[in-house]
Amino acid sequence: MTNEIIKNMDDVLTMLDSIVFGKPGFWDKFYSDRGRNVPFFANVPDENLVSYVERGLIPTGKALDLGCGPGRNALYLAKMGFDVDAVDSSKEAIGWAGERAKESGVSVNFLCKSVFEIEDRETYDFIYDSGCMHHLLPHRRIQYVAMIRRALKPEGYFGLTCFAPGYSDEGGPVREMTDWDVYREKTMNGGLAFSEAKIRALFADWFDNVEFRPMDVRNGRDDLFAVRFLWTSLWRKKR
């Protein structure tokens, strides 16, 4: 078939996507049922993100929220004085986020696009990912890390929240998989769990670590999102 000829690296990536990728439209269907019992549907920001801002770990400036969903973290950053771009590939999610922004009177530039379509160069002071990377196929992380490096200003900050292993009984992934397992088994089992060592291996060449810890579920605040099965980490781009 002519549409299955591999002529360049983009064709290779598309072929690998097709081996594992879920059905088209999954995320639109996921976000269309706003009443389902999904913890991160609540319109409250991540506890670690609030902690970074309240402790002055990240300077106010231009921010990018990757895989923003209904916009809870993007809206928080905008309320705190950041100039925010927020992207998600789901039209349903972006539509919901726009409604929330209008209701709260907050301005966020919501964009329905893939993280791989971001071409900005040294634009952002802060890039935040809450739950995007652990839904990316391993071969796509190469583009993902390159995009963050390209889009961040020198010594800009990158915040990551992703699945930690060992909490399947609380809503985390069933088990930790190797990157090779994904292709052997042709599944990500709902999202990939990462060990601390693996996360450090992915980012340590390009970023200095500022903080690395589990989400704090003992903070005692009901205006924050916090679950035990997520790692949080903050990084600063190396010069």
Considering only 2-6, 158-162, 176-180, which range has the smallest mean pLDDT? Answer: 2-6
* pLDDT value of residue 17: 85
Q: What is the bridge-based pairing of β-strands 207-214 and 230-237?
A: antiparallel
pLDDT tens digits for range 29-43: 989 889 988 889 899
Whose CA is closest to 141, among 236, 55, 13? 13
H-only helix segments in the chain: 9-20, 26-32, 47-54, 72-79, 91-104, 141-151, 179-185, 196-203
**């990939």: which residue's tokens?**
192
H and E: helices and strands count for the chain: 8, 7
Give the domain 2-24+42-237 fold: Rossmann fold (3.40.50)
Query: Domain residue spans in the chain?
Result: 2-24+42-237
Instruction: Give the integer Cα–Cα distance in Å for 75 and 52.
Output: 15
Instruction: Give the integer Cα–Cα distance in Å for 133 and 237.
Output: 18
Q: Which two tokens stand for residue 99?
A: 């409604």
β-partners of residue 87 are: 66, 111
pLDDT tens digits for range 117-146: 999 999 999 999 999 999 999 999 999 999
pTM for the model: 0.94
pLDDT at 171 over 60: yes
* pLDDT value of residue 183: 94
